[in-house]
Structure formats: structure tokens, C-alpha cells
Amino acid sequence: MADNPVPSSLKRERKFYLSNTLILFIVLIVMVLLFSFTSKSFHSVYNLVSMLSNLSFIGIVAAVLTIVMIAGEIDFSIGGNIGLTSCVAAFLLDRGINGWLVILICLIMGLAIGVFNGFLVTNVGVNSIIATIGTMSIWRGLAFTLTDGKSILAINPVIDYLGRGTVFKIPFPVILFAIVFGVCYLVMDHSKWGRKVYATGVNPMAAYLSGINVKKVKFVSFIFCGMAAALGGLILTSLTAVGMPQHGMGLELTIISAIVLGGTALGGGKGKILGTLVGILILSVLYNGLTMLNVYYYYVQIAQGAVLVAVVSTYEIRQKKRY
């Protein structure tokens, strides 16, 4: 006899999960088809390339942020990180620093940002929402301070390649995205450390009592996220050829929306990297498609918000919460 058993809707969790991603894929395909038929420019090669490059740098950050969220935390500072990285990169390039060195320095800075976030959350114990909203402003502020609010041109063969190079006609950022996504998928779905992340997110106490170093798991995921955001910042700098303190503003909301759309719960423990991929694709295709149809920009914003609310509502309604 089960004591305090759980309602049957929860047993279906696993099955429900798979069919969810399937539904999302269907939504995605329908959208792509719709836009292809209604807008000639949507399926032009130029458009697809530009859309893919854009969503790649977002996707890299989203894939790694998914790991942080599965661990039960969140990182709102990714946008500020992107802005700061972009400014530091442009600043250094402007002073003639070698492109490769700039990449290295920015990635190390991303690591440092991750360490700081991780330290605040796991060592000091600040709630990650508060901590990263705070650091978000710090990184953003540092970016503005560094460039005095101005933008700096960032032109350099190495950096240019990062965002605008191609490998056999495939944009380099897409390759990077595929690699990062592939690694994240492998790690979360098939590796020992990934299992520890899920355990940490589902029940940190049970994970702790099973000998898992929960603090370390979270700390490391913040570090990866900091570095991913820095990489994203570098790609964006390359795509726009400029370092701006405004880069990445508001991006954290879009990314988190895409992750939640893909089925990762805010509480942690539930979520799949594959889901994030579909979430990113849906939001990007929606944005791009509507833009191609010359839909008024603000309507596009409404549409993105509406899709998020609609999809997440279906998840919640299926859970049948009683209170």
C-alpha cells in the first residue's frame, strides 16, 4: 500500500515528456512550412543562413544554461556577460591584441564570471535568481564603463571568422553550435556527471546523501555557463563587427523562454537538451518568419510571448494541479 501516493498524472511523466517534444517538433515543422509558403524571402538561402547564424550563438548559451536550470538554479547574467565580453573583445582588438589571444582572454573572463556566480550561489548561499540578477547589472555596468557607453569597431580576421566564416558553405557559428549542442547532449543524457546534475536538480538532499557533491556540481555548471555566454558574446561581436555594451540586452528572457518552452522546468530536475533545441528553433523561426512577412515588430514580441504562455500552459494543465 502506498503511503501518501502520488496522483496518477505523475506516473505518466515520462511518457508525457516524450510526446511533448514530439508535439513541439510538429509545431516547428508546421511553422516552417507555413512561413515558406507565405513568404518568398523566408526560404531564401541568404535568410536561412542569417537566421541560423543568429540562432546559433543564442543556442550555444541556451544549451549550457539548460544544464544550470536542470541543476535547479538559473543564470540571468548571461546577457550582461555577452555585453561585457563583446566590449572587452573590441577594446583589446582596437589596441592591436592578437585575435586568438583575445578569444582566450574572453573565455577566461567568462570562466571568471562563472566562478563568481557559482561562488555567490553555492558558497555564500544567495538564491540564484537574486545573485544573477545582481551580477547581470554588474557585468553590464562594467561594459558601459569600459567603453564609456560607446561602441567600438571589432574587425579582425580571426574574430571575423568566428561569426561569418564558413566551412563548406555552412556558417561557422552553426558548426560551433552543433559541437556545443552535441557535447551538452552527450553530457546530460549519457554521462556520469550529467546524471549527477539531474540528481542534484530533482532532490539535492537525496543526491547529497548519496555522496554527490551538490555544491560542486552547481558550481561547475555555472562555470560552463559563463564560458558559453562569453563564446556567444564573441560570436555576436563577430556577426555585428562591433563591440557594444548593449549587446545581449534582454536576451536572457528570450533564452530562458526557449528553454522552458522546450520542457525544462524552473524548479530543476526536469528537462532535456533536445527540448531546448526545439524551443530555440521555434522562437527563432517565429521571429524570423514574422519579420519576413513584414509584421510590425511589436506584434512579433506579442507573438513570442503568446507562444511561450500557450505551450507552457498545456504542460501545466496536463499536470492537473489541485492547488
- Footprint of other proteins on this chain (CB under 8 A)? 1-8, 10-11, 13-14, 186, 190-193, 195-196, 198-199, 202-203, 205-213, 269-270, 322
Residue 211: CB minimum distance to other proteins, A: 4
CA distances in angstroms from 302 to 279, 287, 298, 306, listed in the order given: 17, 11, 6, 6
Q: How far apart are CA 260 and CA 312, in angstroms?
A: 7
Nearest to 62, CA basis, from 240, 219, 215, 284? 284
Residue 220: CB minimum distance to other proteins, A: 13
- Cβ proximity to other proteins: between 18 and 306 the closer is 18
- Cβ proximity to other proteins: between 140 and 270 the closer is 270
- Cβ proximity to other proteins: between 98 and 191 the closer is 191
Return the bridge partners of 171, or none.
Answer: 166
Q: How far apart are CA 184 and CA 264, in angstroms?
A: 14
Grid coordinates belonging to 187: 553530457
Q: How far apart are CA 268 and CA 280, in angstroms?
A: 19
Residue 214: CB minimum distance to other proteins, A: 10
- Cβ proximity to other proteins: between 197 and 227 the closer is 197
Q: How far apart are CA 37 and CA 104, in angstroms?
A: 44
Q: How far apart are CA 208 and CA 205, in angstroms?
A: 5
Residue 209: CB minimum distance to other proteins, A: 5
- Cβ proximity to other proteins: between 42 and 185 the closer is 185
Q: Which helix (H) or strand (E) holds 291?
A: helix 273-292
Return the bridge partners of 243, or none.
Answer: 152
Residue 277: CB minimum distance to other proteins, A: 20
Residue 215: CB minimum distance to other proteins, A: 10
- Cβ proximity to other proteins: between 151 and 213 the closer is 213
Grid coordinates belonging to 205: 538532499
Residue 165: CB minimum distance to other proteins, A: 30
- Cβ proximity to other proteins: between 202 and 312 the closer is 202
Q: How far apart are CA 113 and CA 2, in angstroms?
A: 46
Report DSSP letters for 1-35, one per residue.
Answer: --SSPPPHHHHTHHHHHHHHHHHHHHHHHHHHHHH
Q: How far apart are the first and last CA of the chain?
A: 25
Residue 116: CB minimum distance to other proteins, A: 24
Q: How far apart are CA 93 and CA 115, in angstroms?
A: 25
Report DSSP letters for 59-82, one per residue.
Answer: HHHHHHHHHHHHTT---TTHHHHH
Residue 127 Ramachandran class (φ > 0 left, ψ -120 to 50 alpha, else beta): beta
Residue 180: CB minimum distance to other proteins, A: 17
- Cβ proximity to other proteins: between 133 and 202 the closer is 202
Distance of CA 201 to the CA centre of its chain: 18
- Cβ proximity to other proteins: between 35 and 198 the closer is 198
